[in-house]
Structure 1
Amino acid sequence: MTVDRILPTDEAHDLLGLATELADRELAPKAAAFEERAEFPREVLRTLGRAGLLGLPYPEEYGGAAQPYEVYLQVLEILASRWLAVAEAVSVHTLSCYPVAAFGSDEQRKLLPDMIGGELLGAYCLSEPQGGSDAASLSTRAVRDGDAYLVSGTKAWITHARTADFYNVFCRTGGPGPKGISCLVADAGTPGITPQAAERTMGLRASPVAQIAFDDARVPADRLIGGEGEGFTIAMSALDSGRLGIAACAVGLAQAALDYAVGYARERQQFGRSIIDFQGLGFLLADAATQISAARALTLAAARLRDAGRPYAIEAAKAKLFATDMAMRVTTDAVQVLGGAGYVADHPVERYMREAKVLQIVEGTNQIQRMVISRALARG
């Protein structure tokens, strides 16, 4: 289905055209095979970086495209509709550039051109084996030692853990609670940083997720982002943007599932007519189309608030919650439309369904989103 988009500039229109062309040529033909092999498409990310699609929301002076978040999210949706693992990789990488771009010193921002250009791939190390949703209780510790910090601890569920070139490491430099947390940017090759075996995941198998062990890893003190104790603020600010990225990924994935289910339902004949003509399936697909449009609108409305410099954290939580729950429902219904055919790997909808589940978990579970929203309501 062609999505009718209203874009702010002709440049944005051309950018989405480029994203569509690259997604059709570089992503869609490769997705199934890479997912089956559980192989990360590093060269695809480099191709997107060289095309300027990895730094869309960042300033031109650092190699970005200075595009509104509203445009960036629509590019992300297009990528996700062809291959979710790549869209998620773009979202995570964009998130990984954020601490340096938003809170880094002028000297630290000299790293951004290589980051944004895709030559350096990033990872975001916040979660731990015993602390995912409760990020303020993280235990990975960084102790000052002369001109460096010695970092020890374990991070968990880290996307790009085995392929990243740099890590945003959120670690404890002070006492308990959020005020004791700081953010360091560490080179992946630093001695004492050891990615563990990749997790065996339900979906997104082409996107490596693993724990990372830190054993007195020596990170230069000039890689501290902001000041000591500012890490939790940096992490939460980054996640507000990251949640919009995941919402856009969910919209793209759901759109792919709907498009495939509609195509199948038009062709599949039962009782002498196409199954889409039966109200039970036609109405199900109509509901899916409506929910996708609603999720897209909610996500872009939050992005426009961000672009206008207005508070958007609660709207980002709503968008992430609604869009990812929607994607789980739509992909499940797409499998149902195909019946037995939907349950086998000959059709992509079973993969879409498996992939949708993780979107309800990453960048803050949907239970956490409900907590964020309900607390805002309680405050008035």
Structure 2
Amino acid sequence: MSAIAETVKAPVAPQGRWEADARARADRLEALLGDPYDPANPHGLGALFAADGRRTPPAATEELLSGTGLAAEFVPAEEGGLLTRADLLARALRPVFRRDVALGFGHGITSLFATGAVWAAGTSAQRRDLADVLLGGGRAAILHHELAHANAILRDEFTARPAEDGGHRLHGRKEVIINASRADAQVVYARTDPARGPRSHSVFLLDPAEAGPGAVRHLSRVETTGMRGALFSGLEFTGRYVPADALVGGVGDGVTLALRTFQVNRSLICGVVVAAADTVLRSAVRAATTGRTGPVARRWHKALTGVFADLLACDSMATVALRALGLLPDRAHVLAAAVKYAVPDLLRENLEELATVLGGRGYQHDSPEYGALGKLVRDLPVAGLGHAGTASCQAVIVPQLPWLAEHAWFAEQEPPPELFRGGPLLPPLDYTALGIAGGGDFMAASLVASTDRLAAARGVGGRIAALAQLAEAFTAELRALRDACRGLPPAGAAGADTAALCVLSDRYSLIVGAAAVLGVWEAQDGTDPFLADAAWAVLALSRIGARLGIPVPDVPDECTRQVLDELIRRYRSGHSFDLDATLLAQ
């Protein structure tokens, strides 16, 4: 029996086993991919960088991933797959992204991005057919995003005109679609109403093999600056017939479905690219320690410990957002946008800091030990983590700020503790339950509650006192943000200062990040002594506060020493630099 068949036929695990099973699958995949620095490993960084240089997918590694049944991770458990919780999906995918972002997209999560609309609103037949495609090792392509304009579906590259029998005929052209040439299913967002507005687009699920002769033209491959091993090309439809049963949801549901499913995509991208940044940090630690018998040179302490703390903060933000999709699905949309807004900026700054440590080594693009920096710098914008992605998140956050200021901040109860600590009480991801408007702000409530609990520690000294001061500083910033947002004109209205609104969204996203760090720190049960200690949280919050320009206390020297010691310990023992501290292949 093949690995895929074994995966599909395995019984659905009880909820209490979800975390253990996801961790076991991630560990197995990590072991199968092997030591990334072994020059003889066909799935190592050397082989992956070489494929990137040739602008070809890494065939051997794609074959390995297909054999493990990786696509089952994108199929809900009730449809025979392995998808339960979104945070566990990120954990299962990190071994791939730790090695190659382009591989993670080209042989991975773009299928989930495509299928989300079907899991949210598809008929039972559509869900079953799509599950069969993925569980059989196939891919799905999403036809709406354009790298040049913020992944916005409100660009009418495709139109669907009614046919005489209740179906539609597709027209239009897209130049840049990942896996357009090798997808086994296509999910198309097409304009069905010429009027602009929330009912302008609809979604269709297509089988590429069923296109009539002459109705579809495959365009040439497009070479991109980053993710060079991924296959981007275009499609042109000239009256391609779409039967009535290909419609996903109802006519005009496309914008709503995109807004609902994008929050999963945004959060998941942030959850997996942390693993890619982990590899760059590992190369910087190698550069700072190779050839030295004593401690790391003091000039590198700030960069290395700061980036480590930032990675833990980014992981905290992404993990909380991913858990919220299942635990608070009707209220997670603003959080997802805030996390997608903040995490890429932090990672870009981190890469700049690590470049100072790596020096000339960082430009050795074909070096397994040091080439990850240059590759990730190229890959992030193409993966939707550049300026365009930031603008799309601002479009979600900015309209919500006046309402949150008037009705939500300092007026809500904090969220359930499972949001920060995980565990068997967390429900699965349910695409049908995802909301896109309203719902308050549970992260602001969490920040206020954490600040209240830490208030008594402000006078005790040391890192706990520093943490209490930082919590109060972020809460004060939330108060100031509330005052700034009250009475704002709606976005796009006459008199609205777009630049000022963008600054407010930046402030808000960093406050959300601080709340996530505090929540994750408070949720520790002592199993990991390092995470249970306040040192990493103090350093992470100090850096976020400095970005905001708010008063922050001096970081105690003991915090920096403890974070550096943990960083070096994980590096030498082969553990990841995220919240899980996973043992890596070596």
Same fold (TM over 0.5): yes
Q: Which amino acid aligns with 1:9?
A: E
Q: Distance between the aligned counterparts of 2:356 and 2:130, measured in 1?
A: 45
1:95 matches 2:113: yes
2:348 — aligned with what?
328
Contact 1:327 1:356 in 2 (8 A): no
1:208 — aligned with what?
231
1:3 — aligned with what?
none
Q: Distance between the aligned counterparts of 1:78 and 1:67, measured in 2?
A: 18
Contact 2:74 2:109 in 1 (8 A): no
Q: Which shows bigger deviation, 112-121 or 298-307?
A: 112-121
Normalising by the residue count of structure 1, what TM-score does the alignment of the two structures yield?
0.88
Relative distance call for 1:87 and 1:175 in structure 2 (3 A) is: same
Q: Which amino acid aligns with 2:341?
A: L
Q: Deviations over 1:343-368 (max 9, x none)?
A: 13233122122122334547961122
Q: Distance between the aligned counterparts of 2:183 and 2:387, measured in 1?
A: 18
Relative distance call for 1:133 and 1:50 in structure 2 (3 A) is: closer
Q: Which amino acid aligns with 2:299?
A: G
1:195 matches 2:213: no
Q: Which amino acid aligns with 2:73?
A: L
Query: RMSD of the TM alignment (CA)?
Result: 2.6
1:332-351 equivalent positions in 2, closer than 5 A = 332-345=352-365, 346=367, 347-348=370-371, 349-351=373-375
2:158 — aligned with what?
140
Relative distance call for 1:66 and 1:122 in structure 2 (3 A) is: closer
Normalising by the residue count of structure 2, what TM-score does the alignment of the two structures yield?
0.59
Q: Which shows bigger deviation, 45-54 or 242-251?
A: 45-54
Relative distance call for 1:225 and 1:45 in structure 2 (3 A) is: farther
1:33 matches 2:50: yes
2:31 — aligned with what?
21
Q: Distance between the aligned counterparts of 2:386 and 2:123, measured in 1?
A: 29
2:533 — aligned with what?
none
Q: Distance between the aligned counterparts of 2:115 and 2:62, measured in 1?
A: 15
1:252 matches 2:269: no
Q: Which amino acid aligns with 1:162?
A: S
Q: Deviations over 1:92-121 (max 9, x none)?
A: 111112222221111212213333325221
| Aligned partner (choices 186, 200, 218) of residue 206 of structure 2 | 186
Contact 2:76 2:83 in 1 (8 A): yes
Contact 1:49 1:118 in 2 (8 A): no
Q: Which amino acid aligns with 1:83?
A: D
Deviation at 1:28, TM superposition (A): 2.9
Contact 1:184 1:223 in 2 (8 A): yes
Q: Distance between the aligned counterparts of 1:18 and 1:371, measured in 2?
A: 40
Give every structure 1 segment of 4 or more consecutive aligned residues whose post-TM-superposition deviation is greater than 6 Å.
Answer: none
Relative distance call for 1:293 and 1:130 in structure 2 (3 A) is: closer
1:164 — aligned with what?
183
1:313 matches 2:333: yes
2:264 — aligned with what?
241
Q: Distance between the aligned counterparts of 1:26 and 1:239, measured in 2?
A: 34
Q: Distance between the aligned counterparts of 1:303 and 1:328, measured in 2?
A: 21
1:122 matches 2:132: no
SS across alignment from 2:142:
strand
Q: Distance between the aligned counterparts of 1:260 and 1:51, measured in 2?
A: 28
Q: Distance between the aligned counterparts of 1:73 and 1:101, measured in 2?
A: 18
1:229 matches 2:249: no
Relative distance call for 1:232 and 1:26 in structure 2 (3 A) is: farther
Q: Which amino acid aligns with 2:201?
A: I
* The structure with more strand, counted as a fraction of residues: 1
Contact 1:45 1:118 in 2 (8 A): no
Q: Distance between the aligned counterparts of 1:357 and 1:350, measured in 2?
A: 13
Query: Which is higher, the Rg of structure 1 or of structure 2?
Result: 2
2:398 — aligned with what?
374
Q: Deviations over 1:242-264 (max 9, x none)?
A: 11121123211111100111112
1:86 matches 2:103: yes
| Aligned partner (choices 9, 21, 27) of residue 11 of structure 1 | 21
Contact 1:154 1:214 in 2 (8 A): yes
Relative distance call for 1:286 and 1:91 in structure 2 (3 A) is: same
- Report how many residues are paired: 370
Structure 1 unaligned segments of length 5 or more: list them: 1-6
Q: Deviations over 1:40-94 (max 9, x none)?
A: 2466445434424323253334221142111101222332111111222311111
Structure 2 unaligned segments of length 5 or more: list them: 1-16, 35-40, 405-586
Q: Distance between the aligned counterparts of 2:121 and 2:275, measured in 1?
A: 30
Relative distance call for 1:129 and 1:211 in structure 2 (3 A) is: farther
| Aligned partner (choices 81, 84, 93) of residue 67 of structure 1 | 84
SS across alignment from 1:157:
strand
